[in-house]
């Protein structure tokens, strides 16, 4: 379908209206539950050039170094910042573009142990206007001083059509890249295990995401991941396996999230000059749920009947060890996740208010469309 210029303008206005409603809800209707117990201001960005911090990542090799980048108002540039909020270095990606950078992630190369930074040019306010999106892979600088750094570009397309997205995360064990769409019915998309530079890589849907997700990050041990929205954050063991929803600070425009190096807290930031980054501790219950599961201790062998032996052999044929056969680890978590609201990040009252705004926007579209015929 060919879209008239007038339609595109109207679409932009409606998206802006809905985004504004989302921010207002985060600051008003749900503000009473937005503050997390034990949270604290970690630092504020001091550099005036950092005026639309849209991504946040913790350095995997430099102690007390945090990376950020601006939204679409900047070029292919990122900043290394200390725990006092002061910029330690500014880096430019060689040969890269910055159409709409919306998120970043950090990982380690499992073969070399070198830090790797990922910058996601995945914003699409027209929900499919771009034929593809890009993610840049950058070796983490070893020296923290202004420099131009090389980047490898990977192109992506979604298997089910274009989407607007702001969340990107990388599994620390497998190195697999994931993108989280920012929509009313959001999704998690997995990149191929092996990325190609000579062709467009296909992103395949692997799970659902909360409404209007603005960022995502994996825990340092890969045991879980978190997805941020304008209102809260949701921790998952795996796609569609929710562990808990975590209240977040009431920020002007919540845009970024990352784990602390020990995995016991979240860092979350906002856009704007001198914007803050907060540290939000995870509760002990969440930490217990995400802790690695200890294997059951082996027991002394006992004489087994022929039936017991046959059962053990059957378990082995099914691909399970005798100890693992018949266990239901994780079932309780899945059942608990299904009891939560489907949006997994927005209370019902907020959804209803959003729907009212959407209905008003639809009427607005209809009126303007008739006038622009």
| Parallel, antiparallel or unpaired: strands 103-108 and 87-93 | unpaired
pLDDT tens per residue across span 157-213 = 999 999 999 999 999 999 999 999 999 999 999 999 999 999 999 999 999 999 999
Q: Give residue 353's pLDDT band: very low, low, confident or very high (50, 70, 90).
A: low
Give the three-class secondary structure for 364: helix
322 close to 315: Cβ distance less than 8 angstroms: yes
Q: Any idea what the Cα angle at residue 368 is, between residues 366 and 369, rounded to 5°? A: 65
pLDDT tens per residue across span 298-331 = 555 444 433 434 433 334 433 333 333 333 333 3
Record the pTM: 0.74
- Give me the percent of the chain exceeding a pLDDT of 90: 62
Give the three-class secondary structure for 312: helix
What is the distance between the alpha carbons of residues 68 and 114, in angstroms, rounded to a whole number?
19
pLDDT tens per residue across span 106-143 = 999 988 999 999 999 999 988 778 889 999 999 999 99
Q: Any idea what the Cα angle at residue 250 is, between residues 248 and 256, rounded to 5°? A: 60
Q: What is the pLDDT of residue 355?
A: 53
* Structure token pair of residue 183: 């929509």
55 close to 68: Cβ distance less than 8 angstroms: yes
Q: Give residue 25's pLDDT band: very low, low, confident or very high (50, 70, 90).
A: very low
Q: What is the pLDDT of residue 158?
A: 97
pLDDT tens per residue across span 357-370 = 555 554 454 444 34
Check pLDDT > 80 for residue 28.
Answer: no
pLDDT tens per residue across span 79-111 = 999 999 999 999 999 989 999 999 999 999 988
- Give me the percent of the chain exceeding a pLDDT of 70: 68
Alpha helix locations (H) across the chain? 5-27, 284-290, 306-317, 331-339, 348-371
Q: What is the pLDDT of residue 60?
A: 96
Q: What is the pLDDT of residue 299?
A: 56
* Structure token pair of residue 195: 């990325």
What is the distance between the alpha carbons of residues 17 and 19, in angstroms, rounded to a whole number?
5
Q: Is 166 left (phi over 0), alpha (psi -120 to 50) or beta?
A: alpha
- β-pair partners for 246: 233
Q: What is the pLDDT of residue 206?
A: 98
How far does CA 80 lie from the centroid of its chain?
20
Q: Give residue 233's pLDDT band: very low, low, confident or very high (50, 70, 90).
A: very high
User: Which domains are delineated in the chain?
Assistant: 1-30+347-373 (no CATH), 37-290+334-345 (2.120.10.30)
Q: What is the mean pLDDT of the chain?
A: 79
Burial class (CB in 10 A: 0-12, 13-18, 19+), 200: middle
Check pLDDT > 60 for residue 346.
Answer: no
What is the distance between the alpha carbons of residues 20 and 40, in angstroms, rounded to a whole number?
26
Of 72, 80, 206, nearest to 138 by C-alpha is 80
Helix (H) or strand (E) holding 115: strand 115-121
Residues near 277 by beta carbon (within 8 Å), at least 6 away in sequence: 41, 42, 43, 44, 45, 56, 66, 85, 267, 268, 269
What is the distance between the alpha carbons of residues 91 and 94, in angstroms, rounded to a whole number?
9
């Amino acid at each position: 379908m060919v879209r008239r210029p007038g339609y595109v303008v109207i679409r932009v206005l409606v998206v802006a209206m809905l985004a504004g409603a989302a921010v207002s809800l985060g600051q008003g209707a749900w503000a009473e539950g937005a503050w997390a117990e034990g949270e604290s201001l970690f630092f504020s960005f001091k550099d005036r050039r950092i005026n639309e911090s849209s991504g946040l990542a913790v350095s995997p090799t430099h102690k007390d170094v945090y990376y950020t980048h601006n939204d679409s108002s900047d070029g292919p540039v990122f900043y290394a910042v200390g725990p006092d909020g002061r910029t330690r270095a500014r880096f430019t990606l060689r040969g890269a573009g910055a159409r709409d950078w919306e998120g970043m992630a950090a990982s380690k190369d499992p073969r070399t142990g070198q830090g790797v930074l990922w910058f996601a040019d995945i914003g699409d306010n027209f929900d499919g206007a771009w034929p593809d999106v890009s993610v840049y892979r950058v070796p983490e600088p070893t020296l923290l001083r202004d420099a131009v750094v090389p980047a490898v570009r990977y192109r992506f397309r979604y298997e089910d059509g274009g989407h607007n997205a702001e969340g990107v995360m990388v599994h620390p064990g497998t190195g697999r890249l994931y993108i989280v769409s920012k929509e009313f019915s959001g999704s998690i998309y997995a990149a191929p295990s092996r990325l190609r530079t000579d062709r467009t890589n296909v992103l395949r849907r692997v799970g659902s995401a909360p409404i209007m997700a603005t960022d995502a990050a994996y825990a340092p041990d890969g045991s879980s991941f978190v997805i941020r929205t304008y209102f809260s954050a949701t921790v998952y063991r795996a796609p569609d396996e929710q562990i808990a929803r975590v209240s977040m600070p009431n920020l002007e425009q919540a845009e970024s999230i990352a784990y602390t190096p020990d995995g016991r807290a979240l860092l979350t930031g906002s856009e704007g000059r001198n914007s803050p980054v907060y540290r939000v501790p995870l509760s002990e219950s969440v930490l217990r749920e995400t802790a690695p599961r200890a294997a059951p201790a082996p027991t002394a062998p006992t004489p087994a009947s022929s039936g017991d032996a046959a059962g053990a052999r059957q378990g082995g044929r099914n691909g399970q060890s005798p100890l693992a056969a018949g266990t239901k680890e994780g079932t309780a978590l899945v059942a608990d996740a299904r009891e939560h609201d489907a949006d997994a990040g927005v209370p019902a009252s907020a959804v209803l208010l959003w729907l009212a705004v959407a209905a008003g926007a639809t009427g607005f579209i209809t009126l303007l469309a008739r006038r622009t015929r």
